[in-house]
Amino acid sequence: MNSKKFITCIFLKNGKAVRDFKDRKLFADGDAVRLAQTYEQNGADALLIFDLSKKDEAHELNLKRIREISRSVHIPIAGGGHIDRGEDVKKLFYAGCSVVFLNMSKESNIVLLGEVSKRFGKEKLAVCINEFMNISENETYLRENASFAILFGDSRHVYEAVSRISLRAVPFFSESDQERLQALLNHKNVMGVSGPAISDLTTDISALRRAMKARGINVNSFEAAFAWQDFKLDSNGLLPVVVQDFDNHQVLMMAYMNQEAYEQTLLTGKMTYYSRSRKTLWQKGETSGHYQFLRHLCVDCDNDTLLARVVQVGAACHTGNRSCFYRDVAGIQAQQRNRASVFEDVMKVILDRKQNPKEGSYTTYLFERGIDKILKKLGEEATEIVIAAKNPEPEELKYEIGDFLYHMMVLMVQKGVSWDDITDELAKR
C-alpha cells in the first residue's frame, strides 16, 4: 500500500504568494520562497504551485519565482496554470517542477494533455478536475495520459469523486476535521491530501502525520530496516549518530539518539536527537532554523553507530560554522586529488579568470573574445571527440573529452550556469 502524503499549496500572482484563487490575504507579505521553506520545515511532503497570471509578464515573473522555490527546498514541486501549449509545460519543467498539472475545465487542455504526455511521459503529468460529472466519460483518456488527478470541491463531493475515479487522486479540500481527513486518506485511490487546511501556517503537519499514523494510516515516512532493539546501545541506552552532508559528504556533527528520537526522525524526516546534558529530545533547527532533513540512514558493521546523510539548512555547528569539525589538529602537507570536487575546483579557477583577468591566460583570452569564440571552440572540441572515438585506443578520447569539458565549463561560467544547476537538473530526470 502506498504511503499517504501531506501536500501544501501556493498560489502565485505577480510573483507573490496569495491565499487562494480569490486573491485574499498574502502569506508572509507575499514571500513565496520563504513560505515554501516554512512548509518544508513544517513537514510537508510535496508542494503544489498554481500560476494565477493572466498576462505574459506576470507569467514570466511567476516562473522565476518557481525557479527560486525549487532551488530553496528539497521537496518535490508540481506546478500548473497559464498553460496554452506544449512550450508552457516545458517552461514549468525548466523552472524546477517534477510534475506539471493541466486544468481539465479548459477544453484546449484536454487535447493538449495527450500531446504533452507523448512528449514528456504520463508520469510527469497530472490533471485538475472540478467538474466531477464528466469524470467517467474521460477517465480512460486521463488514466492513459496522466499520473494522478487533483480533485477540487467540498469534502462530500470530493469523497464521491474519489470513489468514482480509478486514477490516483489528491483531494484538494478545506476541511480540517480529522475524522473526514482519515476517511479520505483511507481510500485506496488517495495518494495524499492538499488544500487550505493542510497549507494553513498554524497546521503542524508533523503532528498531523503522527495523529494519522496513530489512527492506522500509512503516512509517508522513512521505512526502517532495523528496529531499535537491533542496535547495540551504550551504557546510557543511547546510540551515537555521525551526521554527514548528503551532497558533498562533509562530516557535519556527531550526536546521540534514544528510541524516541530514532522513531521521530523516521516519522518526520527531520533529525531529532537526545540531549545528554538536558536529558530531553531536541530537533535540530527547532530554535535556530538550521534544520537537517534526512536523506539516508545506515548502521555500521557492529550495529552500534548510525551514519545519517542529511540536507543541512544553514550551519550544523552552534558556533556558526558549517561543520563542528572546523579546527585542524594534525595532518601532512600533500597534494590531494579529490575526484568528487575536481569539477568544482576547475570551475573556481575559470570563474576567477573571468572576474580577475590574467595576462597570458588562455581562459582570459576566451572571455575577452566573447561567446562566439567560446562556442566555436566548443564545437571544434566536440568534433575532435567524434574523431578520437573512432580510434581503437581510448587515450586520445580521454584527452579530447577533457578539452571539451574545460571549454564547456568556460561556457557555463560565461552564461552563469553552475554545476549545482546541472546536477539538480539531472537528478530530476
pLDDT at residue 2 above 80? no
pLDDT at residue 27 above 70? no
Select from 258, 260, 262 the least CA-distant residue to 271.
262
Distance separating alpha carbons of residues 273 and 284, to the nearest angstrom = 7
Q: What is the CATH number of domain 228-312?
A: 3.10.20.810
Ranges assigned E (strand) in 168-322: 169-172, 192-194, 239-245, 251-257, 272-275, 280-283, 292-299, 306-312
Distance separating alpha carbons of residues 408 and 87, to the nearest angstrom = 26
pLDDT of residue 30: 87
pLDDT of residue 342: 86
* Percentage helix, strand, coil for the chain under 3-state DSSP, each rounded to 5: 45, 20, 35
Residues 165-212 have pLDDT tens digits of 888 999 998 777 888 889 889 998 999 999 988 998 889 898 899 899
Q: Which three cell numbers stand for residue 233?
A: 546501545
Distance separating alpha carbons of residues 185 and 358, to the nearest angstrom = 62
pLDDT of residue 130: 83
| 3-state DSSP assignment of residue 324 | coil
* Better pLDDT: 24 or 212: 212
pLDDT at residue 332 above 90? no
Q: Give the lowest-confidence range in 242-246, 396-400, 424-428.
A: 424-428
Distance separating alpha carbons of residues 176 and 43, to the nearest angstrom = 17
Distance separating alpha carbons of residues 424 and 429, to the nearest angstrom = 9
User: What DSSP string describes 100-136?
Assistant: EEEETTSHHHHHHHHHHHHHH-GGGEEEEE--GGGHH
Fold of 5-214: TIM Barrel (3.20.20)
pLDDT tier at 33, thresholds 50, 70, 90: very high
Distance separating alpha carbons of residues 306 and 328, to the nearest angstrom = 24
pLDDT of residue 161: 83
CATH superfamily of 342-427: MazG-like (1.10.287.1080)
Do the beta carbons of residue 92 and residue 79 sit within 8 Å? yes
pLDDT of residue 337: 59
pLDDT at residue 6 above 70? yes
Mean pLDDT of 366-371: 96
pLDDT at residue 246 above 60? yes
Do the beta carbons of residue 268 and residue 287 sit within 8 Å? no
Distance separating alpha carbons of residues 213 and 206, to the nearest angstrom = 11
Ranges assigned E (strand) in 284-323: 292-299, 306-312
Distance separating alpha carbons of residues 332 and 71, to the nearest angstrom = 38
pLDDT tier at 216, thresholds 50, 70, 90: very high
pLDDT of residue 333: 60
Mean pLDDT of 42-55: 93
| 3-state DSSP assignment of residue 99 | strand
Domain-wise residue ranges, the chain: 5-214, 228-312, 342-427
Mean pLDDT of 380-403: 94
Distance separating alpha carbons of residues 362 and 341, to the nearest angstrom = 23
pLDDT tier at 228, thresholds 50, 70, 90: very high
* Better pLDDT: 295 or 223: 295
pLDDT at residue 78 above 80? yes
Distance separating alpha carbons of residues 169 and 148, to the nearest angstrom = 5
Half-sphere exposure of 199 (CA within 13 A, CB side): 25
Sign of the Cα pseudo-torsion (134, 137, 142, 145, in order): negative
pLDDT at residue 248 above 70? yes
Q: Give the lowest-confidence range in 1-15, 101-115, 277-291, 326-340.
A: 326-340
Mean pLDDT of 208-232: 92
The DSSP call for residue 219 is B
Residues 97-149 have pLDDT tens digits of 999 999 998 889 999 999 999 999 999 999 999 866 566 667 889 999 999 99
Beta bridge partner(s), residue 17: 12
Q: Give the lowest-confidence range in 6-15, 52-61, 126-135, 190-199.
A: 126-135
Q: How many CB atoms lie within 10 A of CB 238?
A: 18
Mean pLDDT of 250-260: 97
Distance separating alpha carbons of residues 287 and 268, to the nearest angstrom = 17
| 3-state DSSP assignment of residue 340 | coil
Do the beta carbons of residue 64 and residue 15 sit within 8 Å? yes
Residues 146-166 have pLDDT tens digits of 999 999 877 677 878 888 888
